[in-house]
Amino acid sequence: MHLHDLTLQGRMQSRPRLRPPCLANLRGIYAQQAHLLDLATSQRLHPQGVAIAHMRDHALPRLRGHGPSTHTQRKQQRHTPHKTTNSGIASRYDWCMHSAKHWFPFLNWPRPSQHLLKSEAFAGLSVGLMVIPQGVAYAALAGMPLITGIYASLLPALVAVLFSASQRLSVGPTALTAILVSASLSGMAVPGSAEWVNLTVWLSLMTGLLQVVLGFARFGWLLNLVSSPVLMAFTQGAGVLIISSQLPALLGFTHGWSSALTGAGIDWASLMFGVVTLVLLVLARRWRPTFPSVLVVVLGAAGISWALGLEAAGTAVVGALPQGLPALFVPSVIDWPVFKQLVLPTLVITLVSFLETASSAKVDNDRSGKRWDQDQDLIGQGLAKVASGLCGAFPTSSSFSRSALNLYAGAQSAWATIFSVAVILGILLCFTSVLHPVPQSVLAAIVVAAVMGLIKPHAFVQLYKINRVEAATAVVTFVITLLAAPRLYWGVLAGVVMGLSHFLHTRLHPRIIEVGLHPDGSLRDRHLWKLPPLAPHLYALRMDAELDFAAASTLERAVMEHLGQHPNVAHVCLFALPINRIDATGVESLAKLEAMLRERGISLHISGMKLPVETVLRRAGCLQAHAGLHMYRTDAEAIQQLRQLEALPADMGWCI
């Protein structure tokens, strides 16, 4: 037997026997651990990776018979570069790629295949054909030149899909953002004028930059400030205003609503085109959602209008639209008082437009089984608004209807948006003249058909059944939105203030109940269910809230009031399982409560306290063991002990 084999045998005998003692199994284990090492290294889990790497580079070569068997050879190996250098380089490369894919989501796009591109092309074509007439209609709603609706559908959509985490959203003009722009600038300039366009571009840039900053600062949680009832009420209020603003154009009232009173100034051709368009769009949406009904209706209206010569007869039409790509638009400097007037609309448009994105992004991510990265979507949406402003257009957002169409048409990735942008680009370069003879009542009908889905009166009834306070908040938000027109943002701001006030009131008045044992074995409100007390001379209570500065005084007051009304109480039991957090005020309040009960000779029982809460209390010097303090890990243990209070000695002491 060779010296190397003797050395190996001695080392193997000095170690615990491995089971099964098969070299093939050891190699299999090594292969698995080497794979785990690469995975752990890429995820920066170094402690286990170091041990695996040590075994790979030292133990296994010796078991194979190729490792250093003498002190000299081991010393030489220490000065030899290990193979883990390549693994370290690979881990740094993986980390860099992970960071790059996080900040540049387009690096995560799937590699295009023939099957993928086929489905993506159909979805992109469906959305692209829908967004052209919608964009022109929403530009009119925003008081902007009609061509800017197509500009807002082109480059902003491309920028958003490159830098947003939700890649199947349709970004571009939306009715809600357009009406907010129109309402915010009302009285500051004439719609469609150069000053109006300049202020709109400033709104796009300001809202976009604000969203980018919020995204980089990880402030996506700010969208939680607007509750669902407030957003629902504001959206419906804005929808009512949008429809009321478009009805005169849809019905052919050339002099506004005064035409309806006098009967004069009604364009019957516009009325006919508007009503027929609205009926066709509503029916097509119910029967064939994926059919490009908007484009077909617009092309049909353009052909009929051109054949009848409606423009020459005085009917208001879209008119000539410039062809070609948008030029870079650099807004002129505005005065400081004007800038201050734009601050509040900027905040509201930023919040509302991102809530529009949230409603679509949650559906998209739920279907794909991914976690929604709201901060990255903030960045992507903000960059899209900046791109829209530099094109001379108005702020963009995610369209729920077009995003739903994109998903319904079979979009699987961001390539669908690329096809959609290509369709829009082709139409912008070659076919904008087709829209020239389209009556403007058709555009109004497109807006009304899109906004009709926002009007849901039954939502208020359903909300009233759930929570009357939130229902009242929603009604007030809806009314203020209507009364404050054209300053719509006062509606959403009023709703936010009322929602936060209700939240603070709830936190300052937590639910504290005296509990009793229900026949089903659960602890419930003793007075509501008419249950007997758990034990004689016992006040058993439960607080369903955090023990912080907002709720601490309420707990202390509840105990003091009960003791004042029931002077014969000898035991107080706090079922603390719902308390998942405690702050300094809560610690101080609980310490005062414990000291007060101890002075009165009343025992304090605490059941089910969570470890984080108990850790904070112990760190503060509370919960020191004494005869008047009893602690239980579970409610079942507490109930069992509390029912034996009469039989227990007075110094039962610390019980864990």
**Same domain for 222 and 142:** yes
Together in a domain, 207 and 301: yes
Looking at 438, 455, 472, the residue that finishes a domain is 455
Contact 441, 253 (CB under 8 A): no
The 10s digit of each residue's pLDDT in 142-162 is 999 999 999 999 999 999 999
Question: Last residue of some domain: 417, 435, 455?
Answer: 455
- Give the whole-angstrom CA distance, residue 134 versus residue 297: 12
DSSP state of 317: B
- 237 and 386 inside one domain: yes
Q: What is the mean pLDDT of residues 568-574?
A: 96
Q: Answer yes or no: is 519 within a domain.
A: yes
| Among 277, 325, 323, 322, residue whose Cα is nearest residue 298 | 277
Assigned token pair, 646: 């009469």
Look at residue 183 and tell me whether its pLDDT is greater than 70. Answer: yes
Pair (20, 124) in one structural domain: no
259 and 397, same domain (yes or no)? yes
Q: Is residue 470 part of a domain?
A: no
Torsion over CA: 317, 322, 328, 331 (sign): negative
Task: State which of 455, 470, 490 marks the end of a domain.
Answer: 455
Residue 451 DSSP class: H
Could you tell me if residue 359 is inside a domain? no
Distance between CA atoms of 57 and 50, rounded to whole angstroms? 10
Same domain, 434 and 312: yes
478 vs 12, higher pLDDT: 478
Number of residues that make up the chain: 656
Ranges 250-259, 280-289, 386-395: which has the least confidence: 250-259
- Bridge partners, 171 (sequence order): 398
Helix, strand or coil, per DSSP, at residue 256: coil
Q: What does the alpha-carbon distance between residue 542 and residue 109 come to, in Å, rounded to a whole number? A: 51
Neighbour-count burial for 589-624, b at 16+ CB within 10 Å, e otherwise:
bbeebbeebeeeebbbbbbbbeeebbebbeeeebbe
pTM attached to this predicted model: 0.76
Residues 159 and 69 in one domain: no
Residue 349 lies in a domain: no
Residue 415 within any structural domain of the chain: yes
Query: Is 266 within 8 Å of 251 (Cβ atoms)?
Result: yes
If asked whether residues 19 and 151 sit together in one domain, one would say no
Residue 13: exposure state from Cβ atoms within 10 A (0-12, 13-18, ≥19): exposed
CA distance 394 to 165: 23
Identity of the residue numbered 6: L
CATH number at residue 533: 3.30.750.24
Using CA atoms, how far residue 541 sits from 302, 534, 578, 605, 606, in Å, is 73, 11, 12, 10, 10
Establish if 465 belongs to a structural domain. no
Are 627 and 524 in the same domain? yes
Give the domain range for residue 330.
116-338+374-455
Between residues 260 and 617, which one has the greater pLDDT? 617
Torsion 133-135-138-142 (CA) sign: negative
State the number of CA atoms in the 13 A half-sphere of 325 facing the CB. Answer: 6
Q: How many domains does the chain have?
A: 3
Q: Of 13-22, 246-255, 415-424, 544-553, give the lowest mean pLDDT range.
A: 13-22
Q: 191 in a domain, yes or no?
A: yes
Q: Is the dihedral of CA 427, 428, 430, 432 positive or negative?
A: positive
In a domain, 537, yes or no: yes
Distance CA 608, CA 453 (A): 49
pLDDT by residue (tens digit) across 456-512?
999 999 999 999 999 999 999 999 999 998 888 899 899 999 999 999 999 999 999
